[in-house]
Amino acid sequence: MTSRERLLAALDGNRPDRLPVTTHHLMPSFLGKRMGGISNDEFFDRFGMDPVRWVYIHKPDPQRAEDLHPDHSPGYLEPHLISSETWNMTSEPIPDPQYPTVRYSFRTPRKTLTMVLQSDEHTSWVTERLVKEKTDIDLIAEYATHPVADVQEVNRLVEQWGERGMVRGAINGFDIYGQPGCWQDAAVLYGIEELIISTYDDPEWVRTFLQILLERKKVFTRSLAGARYDILEFGGGDASSTVISPQIFDRFVAPYDSQIISLAHEVGQRIVYHTCGGMMPLLERIAEMGPEAMETFTPEGMGGDTDLKEAKARIGERVCMIGGFDQLHHFIGCTPQETRRAVRDCFRDAGDRGGYILAPSDHFFEADLELLDAFADEARRCVY
């Protein structure tokens, strides 16, 4: 099988020729510091894993008076911003003794919304939320732009890449620092603690906020018709059971995210629901929303709660499972033999009947190269 055939067979719940082995996002800091600055494709070639190419290409909705932002250069895993006369982003650096810090301002006719991000060599985080007052969501509803997928360009890149591996994209998140899931996007924009409290103090406001984000995502999801993605990421860790209760999931996550999954299916797309954090109390709830795959199945040793064998028994016949490998303890600080045993444990617990893709539970920042070699080599030895 080609890598693409192998990965797609697992996504369809079948047994490929051997266990598919890949990874989530490759961090530029790791590729630069440990791999001499090689590309994503070169990383997969180096270790003999099944490649994944991430494609994020947005364009303005031709039915709206919007355009590509003239001064925005997309960063890591970031599509081009869309702007309009009533929704225009500017950025300015803020002096900080420790971290590069940037304030982003979104100008609208009624008010300017601001958000501040800081970064280090590995990642970025929000230090000032965009939504500071509850009425700010009205500005998003009225003025925020509505990106759509550039299907022609996506398909050109897919054709160019051929059968090398799987092409992944994502449902659109909010500008600059959004996330695919409706709840996850709201958590980024408002703050997860404040959002959880509001589900008790002002649940109708939370529902209105989620509906605004949902409608924006619906525009993007409809535009995916004809795009030759293999799978699209959705969801997010703020919808995990280590962050929210199953009751909040039922009331404020599933009713909105399930609509996007259904709409994605209508336009011929597969969905992988990404939950970095606790999953066990939510397994059936997520599967019932209808995604083709679920990830990341984070083990206890990394702050999750996954029992991979139990998860496979409960939902393994309904979805493809991706992840489950403890990269914190088996990509650094152990022997190759221990890494190989961890691979075999994953294969035994989740992979022996197919419908499983071995991967770290989310991305990694550090790894010993000999352990990456052991990880990939042992996976290739797991033959059906």
By C-alpha distance, which of 165, 291, 280, 276 is closest to 229? 165
Torsion of CA 202, 204, 209, 214, to 10 degrees: 140
Structure tokens belonging to residue 213: 């984000």
Prediction pTM value: 0.96
CB of 55 closer than 8 Å to CB of 152: no
Residue 336 has a pLDDT of 98
Count CB neighbours of 343 within 10 A. 25
CB of 213 closer than 8 Å to CB of 182: yes
Residue 77 has a pLDDT of 82
CA distance 197 to 118: 25
CB of 94 closer than 8 Å to CB of 105: no
Sheet (strand 271-274) strand order: 52-54, 166-170, 231-235, 271-274, 293-295, 320-325, 356-360
Torsion of CA 46, 47, 51, 52, to 10 degrees: -100
What is the block-wise mean pLDDT of the chain (384 residues), using blocks of 10 residues? 96 96 94 94 97 95 92 87 96 96 97 97 94 98 97 96 94 94 98 98 98 98 98 96 97 98 98 96 98 96 94 96 96 97 97 94 93 98 96
Residue 107 has a pLDDT of 97
Q: CA 89: distance to chain centroid?
A: 24
Domains, the chain, ordered by start: 3-65+130-380 (3.20.20.210)
Q: Can you state the angle between helices 192-201 and 203-222, rounded to 10 degrees? A: 120
CA distance 263 to 12: 19
- Residue entry with tokens 């709840």: 183
Count CB neighbours of 13 within 10 A. 18
Q: What are phi and psi of 272, to 5 degrees?
A: -110, 125
CA distance 342 to 68: 46
CA distance 181 to 233: 9
Residue 317 has a pLDDT of 94
